[in-house]
Amino acid sequence: MDLDQVLVIIPVLNEEATIAMVIKSLKQLNLTQIRVVDNGSIDNSVAEAKQAGAEVVIEPQAGYGRACWRGLQQLPSHIEWILFCDGDGSDDLSELSLFFTDKTTDFLLGNRRATSQGRAAMTPVQNFGNGLATFLIHFGWGYRYYDLGPLRLIRRSALESIQMQDRGFGWTVEMQARAVELGLTIREIPVNYHRRQGGRSKISGTFSGSFKAGTIILTTLGKLYLKHLFKNANNEQLKVNTPLMTGLSSLLLILGSIWIIPHGDFREVGAVPQFWIGIIIMSLGFIFSWGIEHISRIWFWAIAILSRLLLLPMYPGDDVWRYLWEGYIQNLGFNPYLLPPNAPELIPYHTAWWSLINHLDHAAIYPPLTQLGFRILAAISPSVILFQLAFIGADLAICWLLSRRFGYAKTLLYAWNPLIIYSFAGGAHYDSLFILPLVAGCLMYDYKNRSWSSVLIGISIAIKWMSLPLLGLLAGLQFPRFKSAVMVLFLGSLPFIFSAISFCSTSGCPVIPLGSSFVNNGRSAEFFPFLLHLVWQPETQTNSIYLIPLTLAIIGGLWYFKNQKYKLTSCLSSPSENFLYLSEFYLISLLIFSPIIHAWYFTWLVPFAVVSRNLGTRLVSISAFVYFILQHRKALGDLSWYLTLNERLFMWLPFVFGCLWMVFKPHLFKQNTSIQSKSSQSNLTSTQNHE
């Protein structure tokens, strides 16, 4: 190999103690085309490199891949090979002669793990990261690498064909994965490796650096694998059960969960952007899970439980402080429906966290069974962790119910859903407590035995009001059997009546928050009311007017489901599954028409999407996190609590279009049954002729 045709690229960041030595070693090997790319050094690295005789270019924007990419700009026309190495003195350059004698291979890499000295010099983080990444490349692309080492020689034409896109720590894995995809000839050569000769590692030197690099590498592999699948497979083949799909999904969910742990206090100015990074990582893992057709019970539960328990130390959403307070004052003998947190009577009982309660001037609006649950938990201990564990327990019980009925693979849509994981475990929202009996009631529904289903839905109503219309729908399905409809309503009302007794007296029963200004006039991230307001401003601003379109939608849905002549999806083969689909329709309508929306409200839909596979629910499980820009603005001092049009569309349109896709998809992709019939008739005729 003509060494004059080799250009050496050395990314450098604060390597003044070693860069001159590295350049000298390269020159001793007769390498004269040396380009050092300074990536923001604050020491004398640039001066040392120039003095040693190297060409120096500057890349001010941080990133290993960006520095490498900068070094590839304006290459001399005679350059045929590119050699990458580090500037910290860790690469053993004495083995390069083996690289230069191989003229037929497109891509040569130094394998540090092939020598005892190399393995000993690598940190545990490096060994683990290399092993994991090469393992994933092996399962995803079918080629076994042994190292992701920085010392690598690649033919210029081969590198140009790769068309490198990554500009960060994913540069090396992208090069190696794409080399396999393109069918390049690849060879790994054993090389020695030294501990850093100077400076501090930006990756393996700190936990945060290692975590960040590992996350980026895994995310890069994930994106590359998706592209690989879409390029080489049709949509049916995308659903392939591979260890890579399951492994990447699991790792990204866990890494994303770890990332968001310190970023739950949205009062801090920088919390939400960092929170979003973790959610993006989790969302990639969630998307990978859509392609998993089979998964073991142990793996399913391990990730479901671990991802939730990891979030226990996370700073919770502000609703939990009200939960604690309302349970706490009940145990002191006060009625939370009568006294708001800032009531003078409660001043002597203020806790250290009292100021964190939201809407201090509003009394309780949660239904009576919820209040009794808060009271029981607060009697044990008014601690956030206890409440979180209760919500996680209900959440995992939902996983259990769904997995028993629909299998582990389908239930991944709920169990490994980032919105579900954060809302109940991290955000500490109590909605899982009402979803559990609702799902159980729907699953137990049977036209011949409605009692348990009615009671369970009644329990759900007594925990959160949103289930109330479902009891009416359940009763409506019994007509014209009038007695059955009455029995459904009676059984469904019992949990609310019994739980409300302790809050009522001869002077009144304040458990229904009809006078709440928040309920009557509040607005938050709404969709239909916002669009309506763009074209028409009603005389009254009360939220009750939106009951009209919701009621019409419910009546229309009930009529349709009672009179449908065909099922919308092939999986709806029992009364309970039909009722699940009807319940999903109601909840979709409720969310679209509701004037008050919080991100965790979309969790209500997710169990039903396990049956319907609703694309809208899957997409909004990701896009709903746009909502948290409201918290970001609040931290910056903007208390308007208002989503802009673009933010609102970004949050809602994936949901709306996904739901519409599920409606029209069966009509767009109908099979041509007439052709099949002809074929069948032809086959039958042929058979008869042979007979």
Write the DSSP string, 166-186. Answer: --STTHHHHHHHHHHHTT--E
- The whole-angstrom separation of Cα 674 and Cα 346 is 75
Q: Is the pTM of this model over 0.85?
A: no
Burial class from Cβ neighbours inside 10 Å (0-12, 13-18, 19+) for residue 530 reads: middle
CB 260 within 8 A of CB 311: yes
pLDDT of residue 224: 80
Q: Which residues of 271-284 are buried (b: 16+ CB within 10 A; e: fewer)?
A: bbeebbebbbbbbb
pLDDT of residue 532: 87
pLDDT of residue 231: 64
How far is the first Cα of the chain from the last one, in angstroms, to the nearest whole number?
74
**Statement: residue 568 has pLDDT above 50:** no
- The whole-angstrom separation of Cα 23 and Cα 8 is 10
Closest to 458 measured CA to CA, from 477, 481, 440: 440
| Amino acid (1-letter code) at residue 515 | G
Residue holding tokens 């000769």?
A: 197
- The whole-angstrom separation of Cα 293 and Cα 178 is 26
**207 vs 634 pLDDT, higher one:** 634
Which are the contacts of 89, defined by CB distance < 8 A and separation ≥ 6?
A: 18, 21, 22, 194, 196, 197, 198
pLDDT of residue 690: 41
- The whole-angstrom separation of Cα 489 and Cα 687 is 58
When pLDDT is averaged across residues 415-441 and rounded to a whole number, the result is 97
When pLDDT is averaged across residues 613-620 and rounded to a whole number, the result is 94
Q: Classify residue 175 as left (phi > 0), alpha (psi -120 to 50) or beta.
A: alpha
What would the pLDDT profile of 246-276 be if each residue is shown by its tens digit? 888 999 999 999 999 999 999 999 999 999 9
pLDDT of residue 45: 92
pLDDT of residue 553: 83
Residue holding tokens 């919308």?
A: 568
Contacts 24+ apart (CB under 8 A), 498-505: 499/367, 499/368, 499/369, 499/371, 499/372, 499/462, 500/368, 500/462, 502/368, 502/372, 503/335, 503/337, 503/368, 503/371
pLDDT of residue 388: 97
pLDDT of residue 551: 86
Residue holding tokens 């390029």?
A: 231
Asked whether the bond before 341 is cis by omega within 30 degrees of 0, the reply is: no
Three-state secondary structure readout of 388-455: HHHHHHHHHHHHHHHHHHHCHHHHHHHHCCHHHHHHHHHCCCCHHHHHHHHHHHHHHCECCECHHHHH
Rounded percentage of the chain residues whose pLDDT exceeds 90: 62
- The whole-angstrom separation of Cα 604 and Cα 587 is 7
Q: Where is 9: in which H helix or E strand?
A: strand 6-12
Give the CA distances from residue 540 to residues 530, 544, 546, in Å, rounded to whole numbers and listed in that order: 15, 9, 11
What would the pLDDT profile of 125-181 be if each residue is shown by its tens digit? 777 778 878 888 887 788 999 998 899 999 999 999 999 988 887 889 999 999 999
Least confident of 524-528, 542-546, 575-579, 595-599: 575-579
pLDDT of residue 448: 55
Residue holding tokens 């690099």?
A: 213
**481 vs 679 pLDDT, higher one:** 481
pLDDT of residue 158: 95
Question: Which domains are delineated in the chain?
Answer: 3-203 (3.90.550.10), 233-389+406-420 (no CATH), 521-679 (no CATH)
**Statement: residue 200 has pLDDT above 50:** yes
CB 191 within 8 A of CB 111: yes
Q: 204 falls in which pLDDT band (50, 70, 90)?
A: very low
**92 vs 218 pLDDT, higher one:** 92
pLDDT of residue 404: 95
**Statement: residue 308 has pLDDT above 80:** yes
Q: 237 falls in which pLDDT band (50, 70, 90)?
A: very low
pLDDT of residue 227: 74
- The whole-angstrom separation of Cα 559 and Cα 552 is 11
CB 242 within 8 A of CB 221: no
Least confident of 21-30, 164-173, 314-323, 455-464: 164-173
Which residues, listed in sequence order, are joined to residue 12 by a DSSP beta bridge?
Answer: 38
**Statement: residue 542 has pLDDT above 80:** no
Q: 1 falls in which pLDDT band (50, 70, 90)?
A: confident
Burial class from Cβ neighbours inside 10 Å (0-12, 13-18, 19+) for residue 40 reads: middle
- The whole-angstrom separation of Cα 562 and Cα 126 is 61
Closest to 225 measured CA to CA, from 294, 140, 305: 140
* Residue 310: DSSP 8-state: T
- The whole-angstrom separation of Cα 643 and Cα 641 is 7
Q: 663 falls in which pLDDT band (50, 70, 90)?
A: confident
What would the pLDDT profile of 581-602 be if each residue is shown by its tens digit? 889 999 999 999 999 999 999 9
pLDDT of residue 232: 57
CB 292 within 8 A of CB 409: yes
Least confident of 418-427, 435-444, 507-516: 507-516
CB 156 within 8 A of CB 80: yes
Burial class from Cβ neighbours inside 10 Å (0-12, 13-18, 19+) for residue 114 reads: middle
Least confident of 137-151, 210-224, 543-557: 210-224
**549 vs 434 pLDDT, higher one:** 434
Strand-pair category, 107-111 with 81-84: unpaired
pLDDT of residue 572: 42
- The whole-angstrom separation of Cα 630 and Cα 113 is 49
Tokens of 385: 């962790």
CB 462 within 8 A of CB 436: no
pLDDT of residue 681: 43
CB 9 within 8 A of CB 31: no
pLDDT of residue 566: 43
Tokens of 139: 């399962």
Three-state SS for 475? helix
- The whole-angstrom separation of Cα 109 and Cα 131 is 16
Q: 242 falls in which pLDDT band (50, 70, 90)?
A: low
| Amino acid (1-letter code) at residue 165 | Q
pLDDT of residue 322: 97
Least confident of 205-214, 332-341, 556-565: 205-214
pLDDT of residue 202: 52
Tokens of 73: 């700009």
Strand-pair category, 152-155 with 107-111: antiparallel
- The whole-angstrom separation of Cα 484 and Cα 451 is 10
What would the pLDDT profile of 644-659 be if each residue is shown by its tens digit? 999 999 999 999 999 9
Least confident of 202-211, 296-305, 444-453: 202-211
pLDDT of residue 211: 58
**Statement: residue 124 has pLDDT above 80:** no
**432 vs 150 pLDDT, higher one:** 432
Which are the contacts of 415, defined by CB distance < 8 A and separation ≥ 6?
A: 300, 303, 304, 399, 402, 403
pLDDT of residue 666: 66
> What is the pLDDT of the chain when averaged over all its residues?
86
